[in-house]
Amino acid sequence: MNKKKLMQIINRLKNTKVMVIGDIMVDKFVWGKVSRISPEAPVPIVEIEKETHTPGGAGNVAVNINALGGNVVLVGAIGNDFVGNKLIEDMKHKGVDTTGVFRDEMRPTILKTRIIAQHQQVVRTDREIKGKIPTTIVNKILYFLEKNITKVKAVVISDYGKGVICSNILKETVKLAHKYGKPVVVDPKIEHFLQYKNVTCITPNLQEATVGMREHDVPEGRAFVHLGQRILKKLKCGSVLITQGENGMTLFEPKDRVTHIPTVAKEVFDVSGAGDTVVAVLTLALATKANILDAAYLANYAAGIVIGKLGTATTTLDEIKEKIVD
């Protein structure tokens, strides 16, 4: 790893334009403290001190890219409701292009609420309607994709299995990306794992890689290497980056090239959202013509920062630079 080279890549990230297509949601955090148990049931009473809202899913990928100085075009679907309105308002305030976000009148904006007391998550509630998005929305996304893909340097497919990434959108995205020479990176969902063919890179965590390839047990040692190589061959993709939380990540490339990248995190506080950070940094780097190995090393530095933060977090170019020279 050449730290000087990584610094050069970082300096190219700003203003690089990337399209993020996927399931957009909102992460709500209710922060409080617990000092007693409810007399009505054996559950803690959380005294609320504050509430925060952050974009989640594909929205969090977009925010990560934005925090790194990149320009983002966000594509997906939300509900015609207050949560969706607030999300669009927040995105526009950050400078994210939301002209590719379409309203689905039939279901609400996905909202995940986490109640946290003394830095511990007490419970999570989800408000969503699962299933495929309407054909009218699919057609709007496809039309937007065709008209705007030449305006970006790379594409992220952020699949949370909520209905936006259907076979039509997936196939057309990859087809257009190949046609115009744009790298396409996938943050996968297990249910669709075998459909992500011919992409530039797929970034599953170890659980997603294992179950996605229909394995029963999490592999170790040589079996783990074999798993990564099987994914590479099965999906005919350019590379596979398997993230492993506090154990870092491993990059699989053609010709049996396997590179393990240890984590640079000094402490692991919260791994939620780290996958969004990895795919954001990786894609931005590839968009600047960095090779996949350098892009993976850069993404690992970014992941090492966000897993040391609580909740859905992002990092900045200055933080990554500081981590590299540390």
307 phi/psi in degrees, rounded to 5: -75, -5
Active site includes 276? yes
Which of 276, 294, 318, 326 is an active site residue?
A: 276
The span from the CA of 304 to the CA of 250, in Å, is 14
The span from the CA of 64 to the CA of 190, in Å, is 23
Closest of 24, 26, 111 to residue 76, by C-alpha: 24
Closest of 191, 221, 227, 222 to residue 209, by C-alpha: 227
Closest of 158, 199, 193 to residue 292, by C-alpha: 199
> Which H helix or E strand runs over 26?
strand 24-37
- Which residues, 6+ apart, have CB-to-CB distance to 265 below 8 Å? 246, 303, 304, 305, 307, 308
The span from the CA of 278 to the CA of 286, in Å, is 12
CB-based contact 73:17 (threshold 8 Å)? yes
Closest of 104, 99, 162, 128 to residue 28, by C-alpha: 128
Q: Are strands 24-37 and 44-57 parallel, antiparallel or unpaired?
A: antiparallel
* Active-site residue set: 276
